[in-house]
């Protein structure tokens, strides 16, 4: 079975032929998919979280003309932040009362953090929520960002750096590593992570990326 998986995955290019192909992938991702890692994580944290806070993040895809490839936009969080400082994340944050739908949260926070106008953000659906040990329920919104954010427009109080990584790497499940959680962790699953040009992406951000990678393989079959 593993040999079949390896042969099958080796034939995949892990990219998109055009924008419609990417949009079709978004639609496919929002269909019901069984994800054992999400299920274990959410089931265990369900009993330990107390009125979890809803949050929205934007998984923003950007087409780089110079390489003719889609990339995903990330932020490296500022060092002075109280939670998750210096970690790699998607733009996003806590839902506010005036956010009628959770995708509005992702768009609003993206505007605030990386200084890109919502006029250049197109959204195509929301993935299943994923729970965090820090008492958050995070809803990833899938979208296309039509203009690359300028570094000088970022919110320096929240963001240290804006960078991208190519889908050709991020959507390949074989690129991910798995290591045991600390003995104090409440999660009986291994930490998933991926490294790109010195950036170590792990935790909830990597969980979302790994789900997209596994789903991409299904999408191509």
pLDDT by residue (tens digit) across 132-153? 888 899 999 999 999 999 999 9
Residues whose CB is less than 8 angstroms from the CB of residue 20 and which lie 6 or more positions away in sequence, other chains included: none
Mean pLDDT confidence for 17-45 = 92
Please give the share of the chain, as a percent, with pLDDT higher than 70.
Answer: 90
pTM reported for the whole predicted model: 0.91
Quote the pLDDT of residue 4. 44
What pLDDT digit, counting tens, does each position of 180-207 carry? 876 555 556 789 999 999 999 999 999 9
Q: How is 174-188 classified by DSSP, letter by letter?
A: GG-EEEPPPTT-S--
Q: Rounded distance, CA 22 to CA 207, Å?
A: 20
Tokens of 57: 């993040």
Q: Rounded distance, CA 191 to CA 182, Å?
A: 9
Domains and CATH numbers, the chain: 12-220 (3.90.79.10)
Q: Integer distance in angstroms from the first to the last C-alpha of the chain? A: 15
Measured CA distances, 74 to 5, 50, 143, 201 (Å): 29, 29, 13, 10
Quote the pLDDT of residue 43. 86
221 DSSP 8-state letter: -
């Amino acid at each position: 079975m593993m040999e079949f998986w390896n042969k099958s995955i080796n034939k995949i290019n892990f990219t998109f032929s055009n924008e419609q192909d990417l949009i079709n992938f978004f639609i496919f991702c929002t269909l019901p998919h069984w994800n054992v890692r999400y299920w274990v994580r959410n089931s265990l944290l369900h009993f330990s979280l107390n009125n979890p806070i809803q949050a929205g993040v934007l998984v923003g895809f950007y087409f780089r003309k110079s390489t003719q490839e889609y990339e995903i936009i990330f932020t490296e969080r500022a060092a002075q932040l109280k939670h998750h400082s210096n970690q790699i994340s998607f733009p996003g944050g806590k839902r506010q009362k005036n956010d009628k739908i959770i995708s509005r949260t992702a768009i609003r926070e993206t505007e605030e953090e990386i200084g890109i106008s919502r006029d250049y953000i197109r959204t195509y659906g929301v993935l299943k929520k994923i729970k965090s040990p820090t008492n958050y329920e995070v809803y990833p919104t899938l979208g296309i960002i039509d203009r690359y954010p300028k570094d000088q427009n970022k919110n320096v109080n929240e963001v240290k750096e804006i960078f991208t990584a190519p889908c050709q790497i991020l959507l390949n499940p074989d690129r991910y590593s798995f290591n045991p959680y600390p003995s104090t962790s409440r999660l009986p699953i291994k930490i998933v992570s991926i490294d790109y040009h010195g950036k170590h992406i792990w935790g909830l951000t990597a969980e979302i990326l790994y789900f997209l990678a596994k789903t991409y393989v299904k999408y191509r079959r």
